[in-house]
A = this chain, B = another copy of it.
Amino acid sequence: MGERKIRNMEEFASVSGISRPTVSKYFHDPTSVRATTRARIEAAIEQYDYRPNIYAMNQNRELTKNIGVVVPYLADPFFGEIVRVIERRCIEAGFSPSLFSSHGSAEQERDILDTLRSLKPAGVLLAPLGRLSDKSAIEAFCRDVPTVLFDSNIEGMGESFVGSDNYSFVSQTVEYLSRTGEPPSFFEMKNPANPNANKRRRAYLDMMERLGLEPNVMQIDGTGWAFEEIGRQGALEILNRGALPTDTILCSNDRLAIGLLSACYETGHKVGRGPDCDLRVASHDDHPFSRYTCPSLTTAAHDYANVSGHSVETLFRLIESGGRFETREETLFSAHLIMRDSA
């Protein structure tokens, strides 16, 4: 173990008995060199613990092996889960993921795109803020950097979009709720940040019409990403007014539902589908905590594995295609209903 520290690729090449250009080739793609050569290089890496200087590696490369991953809000465990899958797959494929969170701020999102541009990534997976996003900044970014949007779509931007089919969420919950009890009212924010919210409202209205039922939308105040608190305040206001139009509430998303359930508990409204219950509550997303609400939340679940998996695969295809697709693809995965105790 008394080997002196290797300072650069030149030195490493000489101690490994391989020429520098071949070593360089190896680090760019280990499978591009002959198996025997590869074995010798890897033995030397093992022995000398050498890694190339990533800065020198990347400065002359038009595009790097980096992949940017941007999410709107990291304190939402939903994104924490997604990021875990994405990171793993990127690393397995030999890329280096760089993770960024906009933390709900459009300014931060712009800054992140700026940073990403100078990272010269091979590709970017971007879950935009939504309504608040600086559309022109994102558009300009997508022109320069191969980008796949996920989770929340912005029409026409990025080479591809991968997300969940909001209609599938809502059709399943509405169908189930109206089949097993009173038809649901819809509970949402008045000015939702996320475009999925609007799609869900429209899907709700559409489904109710299709079923010949009277729709009822409750829109509550509040801005920002503290959905639980917004849901709780909005629900308290409605419950205290005794203004519930039906005994069945369908929340736009689980985080609002978590706040609503807390308000129900506080005001003594028993939630569930038993005869002694005051109301039923269902929702969408299958948030990691929806299993632990009281009662546990009946919800429509994202196909987490497919959304994250297909986002990554699409990005890999995009990178292999040189960063552009002929036409913009949109892939939507269906939700599946998870029946728990709240409805």
Contacts and interface: CB of A to CB of B under 8 A. Distances in A.
Interface stretch (A123-131, A186-194, A207-215, A288-296): A288-296
Interface string A218-244: 000000000011001000000000000
Interface string A60-83: 000000000000011111001101
A119 B57 CA distance: 12
Interface string A95-131: 0101111010000000100110011100000000000
Interface stretch (A16-24, A254-262, A305-313, A328-336): A254-262
Contacts of A258: 289, 292
Interface in A277-322: 288-289, 291-296
Copies in the complex: 2
A76 B74 contact: no
A325 interface: no
Interface string A162-199: 00000000000000000000000000000000000000
Contacts of A81: 75
A294 B53 contact: no
Secondary structure class of chain A's binding surface, majority of residues: helix
Interface residues on A, range: 35 or more
A100 B99 contact: yes
A96 B115 contact: yes
B294 A294 contact: yes
A91 B101 CA distance: 13
A118 B53 contact: yes
Contacts of A55: 54-59, 120
Given A77-B75, A111-B91, A293 B294 contact: yes
* Interface-centre pick from A58, A80, A259, A262 (highest chain B CB count, 10 A): A80
Given A59-B53, A59-B55, A99-B100, A295 B265 contact: yes
Contacts of A294: 261-262, 265, 293-294
A51 B118 contact: yes
B101 A262 contact: no
A84 B91 contact: no
A296 B120 CA distance: 47
A54 B293 CA distance: 46
A159 interface: no
A119 B103 CA distance: 24
Contacts of A259: 292
Given A75-B77, A75-B84, A228-B291, 13 more contacts: A54-B119, A73-B80, A75-B80, A83-B101, A87-B101, A91-B111, A96-B115, A98-B98, A99-B101, A228-B289, A266-B295, A293-B294, A294-B294
> 4 shortest A-B CB distances, which residue pairs?
A75-B80, A294-B294, A55-B59, A265-B294
27 contacts: A54-B119, A55-B56, A55-B58, A55-B59, A74-B74, A74-B84, A75-B84, A76-B77, A77-B77, A80-B80, A80-B101, A87-B103, A228-B289, A228-B291, A228-B292, A258-B292, A259-B292, A261-B294, A262-B291, A262-B292, A262-B293, A265-B294, A265-B295, A266-B296, A289-B289, A293-B294, A294-B294
